[in-house]
Amino acid sequence: MGGNKAVAYKGPGVVEVIDIDYPTFELKDGPGVNPANVGRKVPHGAILKTVATNICGSDQHMVRGRTTAPADLVLGHEITGEVVEVGPGVEFIAVGDLVSVPFNISCGRCRNCKERKTGICLNVNPDRPGSAYGYVDMGGWVGGQAEYVLVPYADWNLLKFPDKDQAMEKILDLAMLSDIFPTGFHGAVTAGVGVGSTVYVAGAGPVGLAAATSALLLGASAVIVADMNADRLAQAKSFGCETVDLTKGGPVEQIEQILGVPEVDCGIDAVGFEAKGHGEGASEAPATVLNDLMDLTAAGGALGIPGLYVTGDPGGIDEAAKKGALSLSLGTGWAKSLSFTTGQCPVMKYNRELMMAILHDRVHIAGNVNATAITLADAPRGYAEFDKGAAQKYVLNPNGYLDAA
């Protein structure tokens, strides 16, 4: 086969499109690859020709230099593709299948996978439970912002779309199944959202908008989305959300103006460790969102926390933050009997059902997150605009499949 172009992290604020090797059914040495994974055979894998691969806020944390990601790490964990090769151990996935790839890499064999905890698979990352494509400290599986990508444990990991023509008609929606739609849905489910719930979503980026979409899909009566970015707040309003502008101060008073009470039933953190304080020009204060959620969520409620928190942040505001240690008012959470759910979303727990909701026109996630297709060559521009707060979900189109989308 020929070559392979991919988007790589070069250093803080810099990504480039580079030439990399075409995938094989073996994990090779390279930036970020755990030595214990070098030479790992993947007869159970499939090679995909990428249909869509999205820029994610989690990628942006690395590109900002806020993680320990090494230079030349190939990025991208939100992948939709067409199978072009399968390994000798693949039984059910076939060449030509159009598939969604959960961003969690999981084996399907370990105790956690068998319990549907695919975000913390025990067998794919020698560093710790849980893995993902193109991400720091996740084992070194090559990222999918590329023309071609290897997916291990293909029979287990890949979600096949039942009808290729129907799928291509809704491909921008289906491209959200690899991460942000299940992640937002997980945030809503773990926050306890149900029929009639009032919900507060911190953050109007793509995951926050996906969480808001999910809350509405689950029957929430009121979904309030908070951010400091006017364009992103306008995007939330476009599909029926109320909004809180945090440049005008804290959320509690604004929630009371909307609901008549200063609290909600369910709280969702879609911001993570780069959170800021309140008010115009607020500086970084990484515990702000979590403390806000404990203040404004009703006693006995739950917090869904799909926002990313890390154990190593070179750009942290103090020595504690650099280790992921935040000043949380845990006493508030304890006194109010709040429950917390953190960590990677187990995508496979939700993606099939969400696929069916998309295919049967129950939800239009691409419109809600303003999904926008761009070329692979345009990836550096997409990263730069996203970093500046563009109210768009950039979807890379490495092989031209999205030209008609």
Tokens 């979904």, residue located: 223
What is the distance between the alpha carbons of residues 255 and 250, in angstroms, rounded to a whole number?
9
State the Cα–Cα distance between residues 277 and 340, nearest whole angstrom: 21
Domain residue spans in the chain? 4-179+346-404, 183-342
Q: Which pLDDT tens digits describe the chain residue by residue (405 residues)?
A: 568 999 999 999 999 999 999 999 999 999 999 999 999 999 999 999 999 999 999 999 999 999 989 999 999 999 999 999 999 999 999 999 999 999 999 999 999 999 999 999 999 999 999 999 999 999 999 999 999 999 999 999 999 999 999 999 999 999 999 999 999 999 999 999 999 999 999 999 999 999 999 999 999 999 999 999 999 999 999 999 999 999 999 999 999 999 999 999 999 999 999 999 999 999 999 999 999 999 999 999 999 999 999 888 899 999 999 998 999 999 999 999 999 999 999 999 999 999 999 999 999 999 999 999 999 999 999 999 999 999 999 999 999 999 976
Within a 10 A sphere around the Cβ of 289, how many other Cβ atoms? 27
Which CATH architecture describes the domain 4-179+346-404? Alpha-Beta Complex (3.90)
Residue 369 amino acid letter:
V
> Do 4-179+346-404 and 183-342 come out as alike in CATH topology?
no
CATH 2.130.10.10 matches 183-342? no
Distance CA 156, CA 170 (A): 23
Residue 312 CA: distances (Å) to CA of 83, 277, 323, 329: 36, 21, 5, 21
The residues, any chain, with a CB within 8 Å of residue 353's CB and separated by 6 or more, are none
Query: What does the block give as tokens for 94?
Result: 């076939």
Contacts of 129 (CB under 8 A, 6+ apart): 112, 120, 121, 122
Q: Roughly what angle, to the nearest 10 degrees, separates helices 230-237 and 206-217? A: 20
Dist. CA 275–CA 244, nearest whole Å = 15
CA distances from 320 to 41, 64, 286, 323 (A): 39, 19, 11, 5
Beta bridge partners of 268: 201, 304
